[in-house]
Structure 1
Protein backbone atom coordinates (compact mmCIF):
# COMPACT_ATOMS: atom_id res chain seq x y z
CA UNK A 1 0.00 0.00 0.00
CA UNK A 2 1.39 3.41 -0.96
CA UNK A 3 1.19 6.47 1.26
CA UNK A 4 -1.57 7.89 -0.91
CA UNK A 5 -3.67 4.73 -0.51
CA UNK A 6 -3.45 4.39 3.26
CA UNK A 7 -6.37 5.25 5.47
CA UNK A 8 -6.52 8.85 6.63
CA UNK A 9 -8.22 10.33 9.69
CA UNK A 10 -11.90 10.96 8.99
CA UNK A 11 -13.78 14.20 9.53
CA UNK A 12 -17.24 15.44 8.61
CA UNK A 13 -18.87 18.71 7.60
CA UNK A 14 -22.49 19.79 7.34
CA UNK A 15 -23.91 22.57 5.19
CA UNK A 16 -27.12 23.82 6.76
CA UNK A 17 -29.38 25.50 4.22
CA UNK A 18 -32.39 27.76 4.60
CA UNK A 19 -34.71 29.28 2.06
CA UNK A 20 -34.84 33.05 1.82
CA UNK A 21 -38.00 35.07 1.27
CA UNK A 22 -36.97 35.63 -2.36
CA UNK A 23 -36.80 31.92 -3.17
CA UNK A 24 -33.02 31.63 -2.92
CA UNK A 25 -31.00 29.79 -0.32
CA UNK A 26 -28.51 30.68 2.36
CA UNK A 27 -25.91 28.38 3.89
CA UNK A 28 -24.59 28.56 7.44
CA UNK A 29 -20.81 29.00 7.46
CA UNK A 30 -18.39 29.96 10.17
CA UNK A 31 -15.01 31.59 10.51
CA UNK A 32 -12.59 29.23 12.30
CA UNK A 33 -11.55 30.75 15.60
CA UNK A 34 -8.80 28.23 16.40
CA UNK A 35 -6.97 25.15 15.17
CA UNK A 36 -6.51 23.88 11.63
CA UNK A 37 -7.87 26.45 9.19
CA UNK A 38 -7.76 29.39 11.61
CA UNK A 39 -9.49 32.36 9.95
CA UNK A 40 -10.93 30.33 7.07
CA UNK A 41 -14.67 30.06 6.38
CA UNK A 42 -15.97 26.49 6.81
CA UNK A 43 -19.13 24.54 7.51
CA UNK A 44 -19.71 23.10 11.00
CA UNK A 45 -18.01 19.77 11.47
CA UNK A 46 -15.05 17.96 12.93
CA UNK A 47 -13.37 14.66 13.67
CA UNK A 48 -15.18 11.35 13.89
CA UNK A 49 -14.84 9.73 17.30
CA UNK A 50 -14.11 6.01 17.71
CA UNK A 51 -17.09 3.90 16.65
CA UNK A 52 -18.99 6.88 15.25
CA UNK A 53 -20.44 6.92 11.74
CA UNK A 54 -19.95 10.07 9.66
CA UNK A 55 -23.66 10.96 10.09
CA UNK A 56 -23.48 10.48 13.87
CA UNK A 57 -20.41 12.69 13.99
CA UNK A 58 -22.17 15.43 12.00
CA UNK A 59 -25.11 15.43 14.42
CA UNK A 60 -22.73 15.79 17.39
CA UNK A 61 -20.43 18.34 15.75
CA UNK A 62 -23.24 20.60 14.51
CA UNK A 63 -24.67 20.76 18.03
CA UNK A 64 -21.24 21.45 19.57
CA UNK A 65 -20.27 24.13 17.04
CA UNK A 66 -23.60 25.85 16.39
CA UNK A 67 -26.14 24.92 19.07
CA UNK A 68 -28.42 23.60 16.31
CA UNK A 69 -29.88 20.10 16.50
CA UNK A 70 -29.94 18.05 13.31
CA UNK A 71 -31.08 14.45 12.91
CA UNK A 72 -29.41 11.71 10.91
CA UNK A 73 -32.60 11.01 8.98
CA UNK A 74 -32.69 14.64 7.75
CA UNK A 75 -29.12 14.62 6.42
CA UNK A 76 -28.31 14.31 2.72
CA UNK A 77 -24.93 12.76 1.99
CA UNK A 78 -23.16 14.92 -0.59
CA UNK A 79 -19.77 13.31 -0.92
CA UNK A 80 -16.38 12.32 0.32
CA UNK A 81 -13.35 14.54 -0.20
CA UNK A 82 -9.76 13.39 0.31
CA UNK A 83 -7.27 16.09 1.35
CA UNK A 84 -3.55 15.41 1.07
CA UNK A 85 -0.88 17.66 2.54
CA UNK A 86 2.49 16.15 1.50
CA UNK A 87 4.32 18.99 3.27
CA UNK A 88 2.33 18.48 6.51
CA UNK A 89 1.06 14.86 6.47
CA UNK A 90 -0.66 15.22 9.85
CA UNK A 91 -3.20 17.51 8.14
CA UNK A 92 -4.18 14.91 5.53
CA UNK A 93 -7.73 13.59 6.01
CA UNK A 94 -10.90 12.33 4.42
CA UNK A 95 -14.01 14.48 4.87
CA UNK A 96 -17.60 13.23 4.65
CA UNK A 97 -19.90 15.96 3.36
CA UNK A 98 -23.56 16.38 4.33
CA UNK A 99 -26.30 18.98 4.00
CA UNK A 100 -29.64 19.52 5.67
CA UNK A 101 -32.54 21.92 5.44
CA UNK A 102 -34.06 20.72 8.71
CA UNK A 103 -32.81 21.71 12.16
CA UNK A 104 -34.06 22.83 15.55
CA UNK A 105 -32.83 25.45 17.97
CA UNK A 106 -31.07 28.76 17.76
CA UNK A 107 -27.49 29.45 16.74
CA UNK A 108 -25.18 29.70 19.75
CA UNK A 109 -21.65 30.95 19.21
CA UNK A 110 -19.03 28.34 20.06
CA UNK A 111 -15.31 28.58 20.74
CA UNK A 112 -14.73 26.98 17.30
CA UNK A 113 -16.74 29.06 14.83
CA UNK A 114 -18.13 32.56 14.35
CA UNK A 115 -21.26 31.64 12.36
CA UNK A 116 -23.30 33.61 9.87
CA UNK A 117 -25.63 32.95 6.94
CA UNK A 118 -24.31 33.45 3.40
CA UNK A 119 -26.28 33.54 0.16
CA UNK A 120 -25.52 30.34 -1.75
CA UNK A 121 -24.78 32.44 -4.84
CA UNK A 122 -22.44 34.64 -2.77
CA UNK A 123 -20.32 32.12 -0.86
CA UNK A 124 -16.96 33.75 0.06
CA UNK A 125 -14.74 31.19 -1.69
CA UNK A 126 -11.76 33.54 -1.41
CA UNK A 127 -11.90 33.04 2.39
CA UNK A 128 -12.36 29.25 2.29
CA UNK A 129 -9.94 26.39 1.68
CA UNK A 130 -8.80 26.53 -1.97
CA UNK A 131 -10.58 23.27 -2.90
CA UNK A 132 -14.11 24.44 -2.00
CA UNK A 133 -14.66 26.40 -5.21
CA UNK A 134 -14.07 23.19 -7.20
CA UNK A 135 -16.78 21.03 -5.61
CA UNK A 136 -19.02 22.90 -3.15
CA UNK A 137 -21.34 24.51 -5.74
CA UNK A 138 -22.11 21.09 -7.24
CA UNK A 139 -22.57 19.51 -3.82
CA UNK A 140 -25.02 22.22 -2.74
CA UNK A 141 -26.96 21.43 -5.92
CA UNK A 142 -27.25 17.81 -4.79
CA UNK A 143 -24.50 16.37 -6.98
CA UNK A 144 -22.46 13.65 -5.23
CA UNK A 145 -18.82 14.75 -5.04
CA UNK A 146 -16.03 12.21 -4.73
CA UNK A 147 -12.79 14.18 -5.05
CA UNK A 148 -9.12 14.29 -4.10
CA UNK A 149 -7.06 17.43 -3.56
CA UNK A 150 -3.33 17.81 -2.95
CA UNK A 151 -2.14 21.01 -1.30
CA UNK A 152 1.20 22.66 -2.01
CA UNK A 153 4.04 23.71 0.24
CA UNK A 154 2.13 26.86 1.25
CA UNK A 155 -0.42 24.49 2.89
CA UNK A 156 -3.20 26.54 1.31
CA UNK A 157 -3.17 26.17 -2.48
CA UNK A 158 -4.44 23.13 -4.37
CA UNK A 159 -1.64 21.94 -6.67
CA UNK A 160 -3.19 18.69 -7.90
CA UNK A 161 -6.41 16.79 -7.70
CA UNK A 162 -10.04 17.63 -8.30
CA UNK A 163 -10.24 14.21 -9.86
CA UNK A 164 -12.74 11.48 -9.05
CA UNK A 165 -11.50 8.99 -6.48
CA UNK A 166 -12.43 5.34 -6.81
CA UNK A 167 -14.94 4.63 -4.03
CA UNK A 168 -13.47 2.63 -1.17
CA UNK A 169 -14.68 -0.91 -0.81
CA UNK A 170 -16.23 -1.53 2.58
CA UNK A 171 -16.24 -4.83 4.40
Structure 2
Protein backbone atom coordinates (compact mmCIF):
# COMPACT_ATOMS: atom_id res chain seq x y z
CA UNK A 1 0.00 0.00 0.00
CA UNK A 2 1.08 3.56 -0.58
CA UNK A 3 2.10 5.71 2.41
CA UNK A 4 -0.57 7.36 4.54
CA UNK A 5 -1.81 10.61 3.05
CA UNK A 6 -2.02 13.68 5.27
CA UNK A 7 -5.51 14.24 3.89
CA UNK A 8 -7.96 11.79 5.47
CA UNK A 9 -11.52 11.64 4.20
CA UNK A 10 -14.52 9.34 4.49
CA UNK A 11 -17.33 8.33 2.16
CA UNK A 12 -20.60 6.49 2.73
CA UNK A 13 -23.00 4.67 0.47
CA UNK A 14 -26.51 4.45 1.91
CA UNK A 15 -28.68 1.76 0.38
CA UNK A 16 -32.38 0.93 0.34
CA UNK A 17 -34.91 -1.08 -1.58
CA UNK A 18 -36.63 1.41 -3.87
CA UNK A 19 -40.34 1.73 -4.61
CA UNK A 20 -40.00 -0.63 -7.60
CA UNK A 21 -38.24 -3.29 -5.51
CA UNK A 22 -34.76 -2.59 -6.93
CA UNK A 23 -31.79 -2.02 -4.63
CA UNK A 24 -30.77 1.65 -4.68
CA UNK A 25 -27.85 3.72 -3.42
CA UNK A 26 -27.89 7.37 -2.41
CA UNK A 27 -25.38 9.42 -4.38
CA UNK A 28 -25.07 13.15 -4.78
CA UNK A 29 -24.07 15.51 -7.56
CA UNK A 30 -21.26 17.63 -6.14
CA UNK A 31 -22.01 21.35 -6.39
CA UNK A 32 -18.75 22.83 -5.09
CA UNK A 33 -15.08 22.06 -4.59
CA UNK A 34 -13.05 19.05 -5.68
CA UNK A 35 -14.95 16.94 -8.18
CA UNK A 36 -17.65 19.57 -8.74
CA UNK A 37 -20.22 18.23 -11.22
CA UNK A 38 -19.35 14.60 -10.48
CA UNK A 39 -21.77 12.19 -8.85
CA UNK A 40 -20.22 11.08 -5.55
CA UNK A 41 -20.93 9.25 -2.33
CA UNK A 42 -21.70 11.34 0.73
CA UNK A 43 -18.69 12.24 2.83
CA UNK A 44 -15.82 14.59 3.34
CA UNK A 45 -12.82 15.51 5.39
CA UNK A 46 -12.12 13.94 8.78
CA UNK A 47 -11.56 16.83 11.18
CA UNK A 48 -8.76 16.79 13.78
CA UNK A 49 -9.81 14.74 16.82
CA UNK A 50 -12.60 12.98 14.92
CA UNK A 51 -12.69 9.30 14.10
CA UNK A 52 -13.70 8.30 10.57
CA UNK A 53 -16.99 7.03 12.02
CA UNK A 54 -17.74 10.32 13.79
CA UNK A 55 -16.85 12.23 10.64
CA UNK A 56 -19.09 10.20 8.34
CA UNK A 57 -22.11 10.55 10.63
CA UNK A 58 -21.57 14.35 10.63
CA UNK A 59 -20.95 14.55 6.89
CA UNK A 60 -24.04 12.50 5.97
CA UNK A 61 -26.21 14.83 8.03
CA UNK A 62 -24.53 17.99 6.69
CA UNK A 63 -24.82 16.89 3.06
CA UNK A 64 -28.20 15.12 3.00
CA UNK A 65 -30.02 15.89 6.32
CA UNK A 66 -30.20 12.13 6.93
CA UNK A 67 -29.35 10.90 10.42
CA UNK A 68 -27.44 7.63 10.70
CA UNK A 69 -26.75 5.84 13.97
CA UNK A 70 -23.01 5.04 14.12
CA UNK A 71 -23.94 1.44 15.01
CA UNK A 72 -25.68 1.10 11.62
CA UNK A 73 -22.56 2.01 9.62
CA UNK A 74 -20.21 -0.73 8.47
CA UNK A 75 -16.63 0.12 7.54
CA UNK A 76 -15.87 -1.80 4.35
CA UNK A 77 -12.43 -0.62 3.39
CA UNK A 78 -9.93 2.03 2.46
CA UNK A 79 -9.27 3.61 -0.92
CA UNK A 80 -6.09 5.65 -1.42
CA UNK A 81 -5.95 8.26 -4.16
CA UNK A 82 -2.70 9.67 -5.50
CA UNK A 83 -2.66 12.71 -7.78
CA UNK A 84 1.02 13.08 -8.79
CA UNK A 85 0.15 16.09 -10.97
CA UNK A 86 -1.86 17.80 -8.22
CA UNK A 87 -0.39 16.55 -4.94
CA UNK A 88 -2.84 18.46 -2.72
CA UNK A 89 -5.70 16.34 -4.09
CA UNK A 90 -4.14 13.09 -2.83
CA UNK A 91 -6.21 11.52 -0.06
CA UNK A 92 -7.08 8.34 1.82
CA UNK A 93 -10.79 7.57 2.01
CA UNK A 94 -12.37 5.25 4.58
CA UNK A 95 -15.44 3.64 2.99
CA UNK A 96 -18.69 2.95 4.86
CA UNK A 97 -22.06 1.45 3.94
CA UNK A 98 -25.37 1.60 5.78
CA UNK A 99 -28.93 0.54 5.05
CA UNK A 100 -30.60 2.20 8.07
CA UNK A 101 -31.08 5.94 8.45
CA UNK A 102 -33.70 8.48 9.46
CA UNK A 103 -35.23 11.22 7.35
CA UNK A 104 -35.53 12.04 3.66
CA UNK A 105 -32.52 13.24 1.64
CA UNK A 106 -32.45 17.03 1.25
CA UNK A 107 -30.27 19.09 -1.04
CA UNK A 108 -27.41 20.91 0.71
CA UNK A 109 -24.89 23.58 -0.29
CA UNK A 110 -22.47 20.79 -1.24
CA UNK A 111 -24.49 18.06 -2.93
CA UNK A 112 -27.79 17.36 -4.61
CA UNK A 113 -28.63 13.80 -3.44
CA UNK A 114 -30.65 11.27 -5.44
CA UNK A 115 -31.31 7.53 -5.39
CA UNK A 116 -29.75 5.42 -8.15
CA UNK A 117 -30.43 1.76 -9.01
CA UNK A 118 -27.40 -0.31 -7.93
CA UNK A 119 -27.64 -2.36 -11.13
CA UNK A 120 -27.48 0.85 -13.20
CA UNK A 121 -24.88 3.07 -11.52
CA UNK A 122 -24.01 6.40 -13.20
CA UNK A 123 -20.33 5.37 -13.45
CA UNK A 124 -19.66 7.67 -16.43
CA UNK A 125 -20.53 10.66 -14.24
CA UNK A 126 -18.52 9.52 -11.22
CA UNK A 127 -14.80 9.72 -10.44
CA UNK A 128 -13.02 7.29 -12.78
CA UNK A 129 -11.94 4.97 -9.92
CA UNK A 130 -15.51 4.11 -8.84
CA UNK A 131 -16.01 1.59 -11.65
CA UNK A 132 -13.16 -0.53 -10.24
CA UNK A 133 -14.52 -0.97 -6.72
CA UNK A 134 -17.96 0.53 -6.06
CA UNK A 135 -19.99 -2.36 -7.56
CA UNK A 136 -18.07 -4.79 -5.31
CA UNK A 137 -18.79 -2.73 -2.20
CA UNK A 138 -22.47 -2.38 -3.08
CA UNK A 139 -22.64 -6.16 -3.59
CA UNK A 140 -21.51 -6.62 0.02
CA UNK A 141 -17.77 -6.88 -0.59
CA UNK A 142 -14.81 -5.01 0.84
CA UNK A 143 -12.22 -2.81 -0.83
CA UNK A 144 -8.57 -2.01 -0.25
CA UNK A 145 -7.22 -0.09 -3.19
CA UNK A 146 -4.53 2.26 -4.46
CA UNK A 147 -5.45 4.52 -7.36
CA UNK A 148 -3.13 6.87 -9.21
CA UNK A 149 -4.63 9.52 -11.44
CA UNK A 150 -2.94 10.67 -14.64
CA UNK A 151 -1.96 14.11 -15.84
CA UNK A 152 -5.61 15.07 -16.52
CA UNK A 153 -6.34 14.48 -12.80
CA UNK A 154 -9.51 12.72 -13.92
CA UNK A 155 -8.47 9.34 -15.36
CA UNK A 156 -6.98 6.46 -13.40
CA UNK A 157 -3.51 5.78 -14.85
CA UNK A 158 -2.61 2.95 -12.47
CA UNK A 159 -4.43 1.00 -9.80
CA UNK A 160 -3.96 -1.94 -7.49
CA UNK A 161 -6.69 -3.73 -5.61
CA UNK A 162 -5.43 -5.68 -2.60
CA UNK A 163 -7.17 -8.57 -0.89
CA UNK A 164 -8.93 -6.80 2.01
CA UNK A 165 -8.92 -10.01 4.05
CA UNK A 166 -5.12 -9.90 4.14
CA UNK A 167 -5.10 -6.32 5.39
CA UNK A 168 -3.96 -7.12 8.93
CA UNK A 169 -1.36 -9.73 8.06
CA UNK A 170 1.75 -7.55 8.37
**Given the two structures, how large is their TM-score scaled by the length of structure 1?**
0.92
3-state SS of paired residue (1:8): coil
Note the alpha carbon deviations across 1:95-127, whole angstroms, 9 max, x for none.
011011100012221010011110001110000
Separation in 2, partners of 1:103, 1:6: 31
Q: Which runs of 5+ in 1 are unaligned?
A: none
Superposed, 1:1-171 pairs within 5 Å as 4-164=2-162, 167=167
TM-aligned CA deviation for residue 22 of structure 1: 4.4
Aligned length, in residue pairs? 166
More displaced 10-residue stretch of structure 1: 13-22 or 111-120: 13-22
Q: Is the 8 A contact 1:80 1:95 kept in 2?
A: yes
Superposed CA RMSD in Å reads: 1.6
Note the alpha carbon deviations across 1:54-77, whole angstroms, 9 max, x for none.
111110000000000001100011
**Given the two structures, how large is their TM-score scaled by the length of structure 2?**
0.92
TM-aligned CA deviation for residue 168 of structure 1: 7.6
Q: Which runs of 5+ in 2 are unaligned?
A: none
